[in-house]
Every structure is written in structure tokens, then in C-alpha cells.
Homo-oligomer: A and B are copies of this chain.
Amino acid sequence: MTKRRVSKPIFVGGVKIGGNAEIAVQSMTKTNTANVDATVDQIRLVEEAGCDIIRCAVPDMEAAKAIPRIRARINIPLIADIHFHHHLALESIKGGVDGLRLNPGNIRDPGKVKQVVMAAKERDIPIRIGVNFGSLPPVGGIGKSGGFSRVMDMVNKLPKAGDAVEGEYSVVDHMVATALWEVGLLESLDFDLIKISLKAFDVPTTVEAYRRLSRLVPYPLHLGITEAGTVKSGSIRSAVGLGFLLYEGIGDTIRVSLSGQPREEVVAGYEILKSVNLRQKGTTLIACPSCGRADVDVIKLSNTVDELLQKIDKNVKVAVMGCEVNGPGEAKDADVGIAAGAGRAVIFRKGQKVRVVPESEMLSALMAEVESL
């Protein structure tokens, strides 16, 4: 793995992002933000799953007014997601929000941008610039005519993802150029509590955009693949994109965008981080895929163990293997494991047999070992 890029750290509430900080896991609520009870309930679930920072959409003043009431009842920093209206940003800051996600270019009026940036600066609140493939300004239109036109037919003139041709102005160029312009707007106001994301659905487009930008600015990067899909397909797509960048040392915080519950986004985020050994959270399951050699239903056993392990908050590797003879050696990396044979199972630690138990007791024996660690 490549050594991590060291970015200029910022703080979102008490959570450090960038520098030598561990990679933070974020999610976003899917409730109506103005519905404080429902929003707080959803945030409590992601807190339990290990979410470091939560973001809420602030589409109107009712949502902005809910921010202080939400924040008072949760334990992790809260970010307000603002699209176009500077007064919603100002109200969110007033309400004690810990960070903003906001593209200054979308606010258009320089005077209004300045008001928001000054308010953020006064309270030491960082701003994430969130460039998205789907809402880029028209090519040649960055910063022109008071900002951005969202006229569809102009947006449609953009090169499609994956169309990048060497030497031509590609969608990756345009994403990076847009981000740099947005950064310039904040820097010109002497503001540097900046974090940047560059999301697309297309993985190579996203990867190349982050790679490029990572060499051009000192700020922390928030990684994500946008509109990635359902829990199943979206997790895989996000794992490919985020995993690649993290492996290359790029990325300070992540959000896995899934068409699913926020808790699923957090769980998937940790699985990605665990895969590249960047952050441990709870148990890790090493599970034999099973084959024609297995004497027991390893798939069922693995899934049962997986479910039981969800409740255990220990950094341990647990193996479920389907071969009594080869299992302990094959999973010698595991802190504890079970190798199930016909009618009995070997319990092992770091590849060494601890004891043999009858099949009926194997599950409880394994969990007892895990508990005892």
C-alpha cells in the first residue's frame, strides 16, 4: 500500500479529519430533517454502528430551525447539507452546526458567499465543497454569468463519464477545474477550513478526479461514489472505488452512499476500511466459502456466527472453516476459529487446536472462546 497522503487537518466538532487522524466514517440521514424525533432516532442507530459524523439535508427554514434541537440530542458532530440558499447556511451556523456541505458557486452572489464564509470562520466551522458529476457547471461556464446555469441542455453538452480522451478536456478535468474554482472562492476570503469531495457514479472517473486533485491541494478529501446503488450493488461499487483510493493513500473520510438505511452505509464503510487494514471496528469474519469437501453446512454456520459477532465490539478475527484437517492452518491468521468436520468441530486459536467439541456444541463453544479473548 502507498503511504497515506498527509493533508491539512480540520475539525468537524471534536472529530479530526486529515493529517494523521484515522479515516472518519460518515453517513447522511434520510428522514425529513424537520421531523426531529425521526431524525434523532436514525442518528442514534448510526452512532451505535460507529458513525463518526452525520449529515442532514437542510432544504428549507423548517429544517434549519430543527438543527439545534437535533444536535442537542445526539453524540456525534452534525453537518448541514445546503444547496443554494445562503440564509439556510447562516441559520444552520446559528443553530450550532459543526460543519457545512455547500458549494459557494451555487450561492452565486459574492456578497452572500462572504456572509456565510465569515460566519463559518467566526465559529471555526469547516466547509466541504462537494463537486458531483451530475451537477457540474457547463463546460466553459465556471464562474461566468454570476455562477452556474442549471439548464439541462447545457449540462448535457458535458462529456460523458468514461469518454475522456488523452489531450482533450475530459469530465475529470472539468470536475477538478470546478473544485479548484470553488476552493479559490473560499481561499479568496481567507478561509481554509476546507474539505473536498469529487463524486461520480463512474468509478474510473471518480478515481482519476481524486488522484488528480490530491496532488493539487493540501486539503482533506472526503471520498464517495455517488448514487452507487442498493445495499448490495452499491457496496461493491463503493468498495472498488474507495478501496482503490485508500490503497493509494488518498482519502481522509468516507461515506458509502447506498439506497438503504444509513446504518448500512456505516457498516459498509467499516468493511472497506477493514479490508485495507486502515481501521478496525468490531470483529472480522474469515469464512470458508464451502465446497464439495465440507461435511457440515458451512454457509449456514458462517451466517449464524456473523450475526452473533455483530453484537461483539472487540477487534478480533474469527474464522469459520469447513475442513477439520486443513481449517486451522488455513485460517492461522484468525485469533479464534472453528473447523467443522463430521459430527464434531475443532476450536483453534492462531492455527493451534484448543479442543474438540461435538457438532451440537460448536457454536456455543466458539462464542465462548470469542467472549474469553
Contact = CB atoms under 8 A, between A and B. Distances in A.
Interface in A288-315: 288-294, 298-299, 302-303, 306
Which secondary structure characterizes the binding site on chain A?
Answer: mixed
Interface in A194-236: 201-204, 207, 226-236
A252 interface: no
Nearest to A301: B259
Contacts of A90: none
Contact of A259 (B204, B237, B320, B351): B320
A303 to B, nearest CB: 6
A85 interface: no
Contacts of A98: none
Contacts of A288: 227, 259
Nearest to A66: B292
Contacts of A268: 236
Interface in A132-151: 132-135, 150
Contact of A277 (B63, B204, B321): B204
Contact of A292 (B57, B267, B294, B328): B57
Contact of A351 (B155, B229, B234): B155
Interface string A147-183: 0001010011010111000000000000000000000
Contacts of A258: 289
A119 interface: no
Given A229-B287, A243-B240, A330 B162 contact: no
Contacts of A108: none
A268 to B, nearest CB: 6
B302 A230 contact: yes
A329 B229 contact: no
Given A247-B204, A331-B227, A333-B160, A152 B352 contact: yes
Interface string A322-356: 00001011111100000000000000001110000
Nearest to A225: B275
Contacts of A158: 332
A235 B232 contact: yes
Q: How many copies does the complex hold?
A: 2
B227 A152 contact: no
A244 B155 CA distance: 31
Nearest to A30: B290
B134 A1 contact: no
The range of chain A's interface size is 35 or more
Contact of A303 (B32, B56, B155, B259): B259
A28 interface: yes
A319 B227 contact: yes
Contact of A272 (B150, B240, B294): B240
Contacts of A33: 292
Interface string A234-268: 11110111011001000000000111110001011
A29 interface: yes
A332 B134 contact: yes
B275 A227 contact: no
A357 interface: no
B272 A236 contact: yes
Given A29-B292, A155-B351, A243-B243, 14 more contacts: A81-B291, A152-B329, A152-B352, A156-B332, A156-B352, A204-B247, A227-B319, A230-B285, A230-B302, A231-B232, A232-B271, A233-B285, A240-B275, A259-B303
